Structure formats: structure tokens, C-alpha cells
Amino acid sequence: MINYRFYPSLLNVFSRYVRGGNLSAQELIDAINRVPTPTTAAQERGVSFEEAVVKGTDEERFDPELLKKVRKLLPRPIVDAQVYCQWQIEDVLFYGYVDLIGKFKAVDLKTTSSYQPGRYVHNHQNLYLHALKGKGIKLMEYVIAAFEPNGRAEVHVESYALTHPIDKQLEEIRLFKAFLEEHRPLITDPKIFVAPGEEPSARRRPLS
């Protein structure tokens, strides 16, 4: 039986909350309820960068050498883009969209202004590996463009295999369920809780 539907960007917000990040309980509840917030310049750049890399859209906004370097790290051939996947974890339907998949690996494109090695070691998107293993995916890679103040960028790659431990993510999912039950009267997003007899499928693009 599935009682909850979670997507990775929301779980990553909760992870920030439980690890003592600069996030209040009300801000977390707003994120759960998908309260609209202004798009930041960093978020806009991330979306634009992905479009430029994958589709060539407005690619003149970015350094051609940077685009070339990132494209060399993408799966060859690219089998599919924006691939929906889901995985049942106890009574939770974990779901989301991965940027790209090849024959053996999935790739998610990231941008940041501050990069530290191992940044995605406990990222909930690592669970995509388990959702996609039926498609033959054995590796989850983050291709990260770290932009400097002068506009130049360094490219970093983090790779995680199916054998990579996910204990921390699973524990945070259990903690998130407890948080939701404690604050249930405040939760208004109808996708979070699965009503008895409701179809648990969650094929809707989660906020990134």
C-alpha cells in the first residue's frame, strides 16, 4: 500500500532542514505546499544552461568551450531525456524526472556558484538509480558547472553506482513521514498523501 508521494527536490529541502540548514519549519511547510516563490537568477541560469547544453537553445549565453566540455560528458548515445521514473520505498512512491539517460548511465546537469567535492553524495536524486535499474542504468552522474564571479566555469563530475549506500536518504524519508504526520493539518498539496483507494501514480513534473 502506498500512503505518500515524494520527489527528490522536496526531500533535499527536508534534508537541509534536518541537518540544521538555514530553513524554518514554516519555510519547509511552504515548500511542501508548493507556495510560489520568485525564480532566482541562479535557478534561471540553471534552466537556461540545461536547455543550451541539451537543445542548443540560446547557447550564445554561455562559453562555447564550457558547452563543449559538458557535452563530452553526456551519455553517447543519449537514449532519452526528461525520463519519468518511480520506485516504491515501503509505503512511499518516490518519483521524478532525470535529465538524460544513456545505455548504462543517467546524467543530471547542475549549476552552482560554490562547489565542494562530494556535494551530491547524499542527494535524494541518487535514488533514481534504483528506479531506473530496470532500464539497465548502473551509474548516476552529476555534471556540474561551477560558475565563478567573472562568468567562467569549472566542470566537475560526481558518479554514484547502484552499490553506493543510501541509508541516509532512507532514514530521511522516514523522518519526513513523521514530520508530515505531525503537521498534517497544515499540508495542502493533494499529491503528498495518497487517499484510500486513490491511484498512487504521480506522473506530474515536480518542481526542481
The domain segmentation of the chain, as residue ranges, is 4-39+74-186
- Report the pLDDT value the prediction gives residue 203, as an integer from 0 to 100: 63
> Side chain identity at 197, as an amino acid letter?
G
* Per-residue cell: 127: 535514488
pLDDT averaged over 10-residue windows placed end to end, the chain, 208 residues: 96 95 93 93 91 94 94 94 95 96 96 93 97 95 90 91 97 98 96 83 56
**pLDDT (0 to 100) of residue 207:** 46
The pLDDT value given to residue 21 = 83
Cβ count within 10 A of residue 146: 17
Tell me, what's the pLDDT at 150? 73
3-state class of 78 per DSSP?
coil
Closest among 203, 187, 206 to 11, alpha carbons compared: 206
d(CA 195, CA 162): 32
